[in-house]
A and B are shown apart, each in its own frame.
Chain A
Amino acid sequence: MKPTATTNQPDAAIAVENLTKRYGDTVALDGISFRVQRNELFGIIGPDGGGKTTLFRILTSLLRPGSGRARTYGLDVVTDYKRIRQIIGYMPGRFSLYQDLTVEENLAFFASIFGADVNQNYDLIAPIYDHIKPFAKRRAGDLSGGMKQKLALSCALIHRPKILFLDEPTTGIDAVSRTELWQMLRSLGPKGVTVVVSTPYMDEALLCDRVLLLQDGRILDTDTPEAIIAHFDKHLIAVETEDNKRALRDLRDLDPAFNVQTFGYEIHVSSERALERADIEKFLRGRGYRRVRVDDIVPTIEDCFIELMQKEKEHVS
């Protein structure tokens, strides 16, 4: 089929239609379709092996689609790959800068490849590059994990791309650096950069304008985090006792149909049928717990993802 140059929605930063990719018998992407708007902060949320990296490699023109189409700013990833590479920034999951160049040499190198000027675009990277500027003369290979990540992001942005792809930028990164990175990502949309970022951390989904939940190559949902939470259709309570590890088993005894999961210092119980807080509390007291708190709660994005994953599994099997 001959690709056409027209797009029916010229505003889309990304338009993916029925995209499929197989590796032998493994289906990495199974006919997915979605759009990303310009200047949007778009999250691709899902576990390892869900298809995130394959999708990134196709969108950045590094891998050909099996079937279906993908366009970035109206450019086809197969036929217009040269032009796509000029307007994107890509930060792969694995650190891929030159370890034996210094921090500032790496930055200058990436700018020169794109014919960009470091000073002219410095405003875009200042919020993160300022953290590593004191180490400008240090070799990239000698930086800590968090600093490497900041340098990689600076290098991916220094040519002021229209769209920035980040594949799991926060995996293995501590909670402080994660927070800083996300502050930075949120500042890019207003400066005219569309951001597509993947992560296995569910809490980071809340920081995106919209998210796509990807599992086993299929889209579980695409929406704003608020809408995904609003679509949660089960009853949900949070339980806290002095011994949550034991309470986990007791709550599963109470009703095998309950979905009982640990959530930090709480246990979340979801169910098709209404959950009476008083009944749960009485049950736990009866089992000898002294400190029992039971609250109705609004689901987190992680509750929603777990729910959608389980639905998908039932659907498949």
Chain B
Amino acid sequence: MSPDHIIFVDGLTKYFGTFCAVDNICFHIKKGEIFGFLGANGAGKTTGIKMLTGLLKPTSGTARVAGFDVFTDSEQIKKNIGYMSQKFSLYDDLTVIENIRFYAGVYGLSRRQIKHKADALIARLGLEHVRHSLTRDLPLGWKQKLAFSIAIIHEPKVVFLDEPTGGVDPITRRQFWEMIFDAARSGITILVTTHYMDEAEYCDRVSIMVDGKIVALGTPRELKEKYGQPDMNRIFLKLARG
């Protein structure tokens, strides 16, 4: 494993009974890389992410995330990563500032750090006027941008984003991706899933999973050349049915 590899996965496999949900997958992700983890519903993405975030023990194989082994150091992994998904992001019945303080506290930031980070975050997102509003009253797009900012408030080495832009309007969706670009430029490694194939084009590299296996892995340009297709959408349609 090169020191540049923040995520290192080799032969990772997960069985549920006799059903193989993730079948011997291998990939390495570099520091600051945006890695698109693609696949149809049921292909094994969620199981893969659960193993990499320390929530599910693999059946076999090796995986290290931010330097920690998913078999033995799952608690360390949880402290050193960020996570957000469309379904799980913020507490609806806490205000904006309460959500920020809560998560920053969970991630172990000091009181002074929390104050400083919270003010900076609110200013950056232009949320001063809703600082004390309940999160449930915010438009979805604002919520998702806030959730992402909170997911990286402790400056993790890696952040996992599981369908972060589902249902979001086209302008906010793009603003969200520009936040991802900024985070990657600052050195945070991003693993992201999406069903929007235009977003697959924004990734430095993507993998496509079919029935638990990774069937394609490369930069969008490499995959387009390899499969002779003009865009990621057509590659996905070609491969994802298995």
Question: Which residue on B lies nearest to A174, using beta carbons?
Answer: B40
- Which A residues form the contact surface with B (CB < 8 A)? 46-50, 144-146, 168, 171-179, 200-202, 215, 245, 248, 261-265, 302, 305-306, 309-310
21 A-B pairs with CB atoms under 8 Å apart are A46-B169, A48-B167, A49-B139, A144-B41, A145-B41, A146-B41, A172-B195, A174-B40, A174-B41, A174-B240, A175-B240, A176-B40, A176-B236, A176-B241, A200-B168, A265-B220, A265-B232, A302-B170, A306-B170, A309-B170, A310-B171
Q: Is the CB of B233 within 8 A of A175?
A: yes
Task: Name which of A47, A302, A309 has the most chain B CB atoms within 10 A of its CB.
Answer: A47
Interface centre among A50, A171, A175 (most CB of B within 10 A): A175
In angstroms, how far is the closest chain B Cβ from the Cβ of A135? 13
Q: Is the CB of A172 within 8 A of B86?
A: yes
Complex contact A262–B202 (CB within 8 A): yes
Docked-complex contact B42 and A144, CB < 8 angstroms: yes
Check if B237 sits within 8 Å of A176, measured CB to CB: yes
CA distance A263 to B170 in the complex (A): 10
Q: How far is the CB of B168 from chain A (nearest CB, A)?
A: 6
209-242 of chain B: CB within 8 A of chain A: 220, 231-233, 236-237, 240-241
Number of A-B contacts (CB under 8 A): 92
User: Which residues of the other chain, A, contact B233 by a CB distance below 8 angstroms?
Assistant: 175
In chain B, what residue has the closest Cβ to A216? B139
**Which of B's residues lie within 8 Å of A, judged by CB?**
39-43, 86, 139-141, 163, 166-172, 174, 177-178, 181, 185, 195-198, 201-202, 220, 231-233, 236-237, 240-241
- CB <8 Å contact, A200 and B174: no
Complex interface: chain A residues within 8 A of B241 (CB): 176
Chain B positions within 8 Å of A309 at CB level: 169-171
Q: How far is the CB of A268 from chain B (nearest CB, A)?
A: 10
- A261 near B174 with CB under 8 A, answer yes
Contacts of B196 in A (CB 8 A): 201
B170 to chain A, nearest CB (A): 5
- The smallest C-beta distance from B136 to any residue of chain A, in angstroms, reads 11
* Chain A positions within 8 Å of B177 at CB level: 262
Asked if residues B171 and A306 are in contact (CB atoms below 8 Å), the reply is yes
Tell me the complex Cα distance, A305–B169, Å.
9
A202 touching B170, Cβ below 8 Å: yes
Residue contact A175 to B197, C-beta cutoff 8 Å: yes
A47–B240 CB distance below 8 A:
no
Q: Given the complex of chains A and B, what is the CA–CA distance between A200 and B174 in angstroms?
A: 14
Given A47-B167, A168-B167, does the pair A176, B240 have CB atoms closer than 8 Å? yes
Residues of B near A47 (CB, < 8 A) are 140-141, 167-170, 172
Bound together, the chains give a CA A130 to CA B67 distance in angstroms of 48
With contacts A48-B140, A264-B198, A264-B231 taken as known, whether A177 is within 8 angstroms of B170 at the C-beta atoms is no
Q: Is B166 touching A175 in the complex (CB atoms < 8 A)?
A: no
Q: Beyond A146-B40, A176-B236, A176-B241: 8 further Cβ-contacts under 8 Å?
A: A48-B140, A48-B168, A49-B139, A174-B41, A175-B40, A265-B231, A302-B170, A310-B171
Contacts of B39 in A (CB 8 A): 174
Taken together as a complex, chains A and B put the C-alpha atoms of A302 and B169 apart, in Å, by 10
* Chain B: CB-nearest residue to A52: B167
The interface residues of chain B lying within 8 Å CB-to-CB of A174 are 39-41, 43, 195, 236, 240
A168→B195 CA distance, assembly (Å): 14
Q: How far is it, in angstroms, between the C-alpha of A144 and the C-alpha of B242 when the chains are bound?
A: 15
Contact A171 B220 (CB under 8 A): no
The 6 A-B residue pairs with the shortest CB-CB distance in the complex, in nearest-first order: A47-B169, A264-B198, A144-B42, A174-B40, A145-B41, A48-B167
Q: In this complex, which of B140, B166, B169, B172 has the most chain A Cβ atoms within 10 angstroms of its Cβ?
A: B169
- Tell me, in angstroms, the Cα distance from A287 to B171 when the chains sit together: 27
Contacts of A173 in B (CB 8 A): 41, 195
- Chain B residues near A48: list those with CB within 8 A: 140, 167-169
Roughly how many angstroms separate A162 CA and B14 CA in the complex, as a whole number? 46
In the bound assembly, the distance between CA atoms of A145 and B87 in angstroms comes to 15
**B41 contacts across to A, CB distance below 8 A:** 144-146, 172-174, 177
User: Given that A47-B169, A172-B166, A174-B195 are known contacts, is A264 also in contact with B40, CB under 8 Å in the complex?
Assistant: no
How far, in whole Å, are A145 and B163 apart by their CA atoms in the complex?
14
User: Is there contact, CB below 8 Å, between A215 and B163?
Assistant: no
**How far, in whole Å, are A201 and B196 apart by their CA atoms in the complex?**
8
